[in-house]
Amino acid sequence: MHPLVNIAVTAARAAGNFILRHSERVESLNVQTKGASDFVSEVDRGAEAEIIRTIRRYYPDHAILAEEGGGSEVHPDDAEYTWIIDPLDGTTNFLHRVPQYCVSIGIVRRGVVEHGVIYAPEPGDLYTASKGSGAQLNNRRLRCSRTKTLEEALIGTGMPIRNPERREIYMPMLGNVLDSTAGIRRPGSAALDLAYVATGRFDGFWELGLKPWDIAAGILMVREAGGVVSELYGRDDVLATGNVVAANIKLHDPLVSLLRSDAA
């Protein structure tokens, strides 16, 4: 395992342990609202601090881009490496005791995601990936599914509940995918959705307007498991727009065509 991945795993497990210690007292947590249906708790911030503390111990000159804004002393433009962190992807699930949440850490070198770690504390699942070296779940090699047709495919998604304009774009996509596939799932953690594509649990996934910390690690997982990830509208940088489509190699292009079929 690459040394950067080793440190990312250490950081993710530290954050996961912190989250689990607070999982049975969610009613007493200090929870704030960042926006419509967008929450942040003291657990998000505490888990982020655990990750940043670990990174700073070993790599003080690396930049950090974190969802809750910590660790910004080094700017990404001034660093060779940037760590992109979501300390608790699926906060709403966590606050409702739905065990579908994770810690996500992506490591970018000069604009390219080279390493990724996703850790789901409740099942204890650890997903790791390094560019050119494959992806693993609990040290077992991952491969995307072999499903060949959309009619057989199970597709994951996330709904843009905070953005009315995106909802207008999204709803026809949802209808098209419902009509053309074996089913849709909306678990509530984009990082885990992408990890599920890498494991073959989902045959594909799409969502609009995600943030870099939601997807940096997951897109590498899918690619290293033999899948394809792209920006929905063909733009160069999926991390910049967050309009992500991921699927196995057989289904990616048909899924993109289906999602674009109602576009103006």
d(CA 114, CA 24): 35
Q: Which two tokens stand for residue 55?
A: 């990174």
Q: Which domains does the chain have, with CATH numbers?
A: 3-141 (3.30.540.10), 150-260 (3.40.190.80)
Please report the sign of the dihedral spanned by the C-alpha atoms of residue 83, residue 233, residue 187, residue 94.
positive
Q: Which two tokens stand for residue 234?
A: 């063909």
Q: Which two tokens stand for residue 18?
A: 């912190």
| Contact assessment for residue 252 and residue 202, using Cβ atoms and an 8 Å cutoff | no
Spatial CB neighbours of 78, under 8 Å, sequence gap ≥ 6? 63
Give the pLDDT of residue 163: 80
Q: Name the CA radius of gyration of the chain, rounded.
A: 18
H or E element in which residue 245 lies = strand 244-247
Give the pLDDT of residue 15: 97
Spatial CB neighbours of 57, under 8 Å, sequence gap ≥ 6? none
d(CA 159, CA 124): 26
Give the pLDDT of residue 38: 45
Q: Are strands 204-207 and 154-157 parallel, antiparallel or unpaired?
A: parallel
Helix H segments across the chain?
3-21, 42-58, 91-95, 164-180, 190-199, 212-224, 238-241, 252-260
Kindly give the confidence (pLDDT) of every residue in the chain, 264 residues in length, as a single tens digit, with 9 standing for 90 and above: 899 999 999 999 999 999 998 877 766 565 555 544 444 567 888 999 999 999 999 999 999 999 877 777 787 888 999 999 999 999 889 988 899 999 999 999 999 999 999 999 999 999 999 999 999 999 999 999 999 999 999 999 999 877 888 899 999 999 999 999 999 999 999 999 999 999 999 999 999 999 999 999 999 999 999 999 999 999 989 999 999 999 999 999 999 999 998 754
Could you tell me which residues are beta bridge partners of residue 207?
244
pTM confidence score = 0.93
Provide the Cα torsion 50, 51, 56, 60; round to 10°: -160
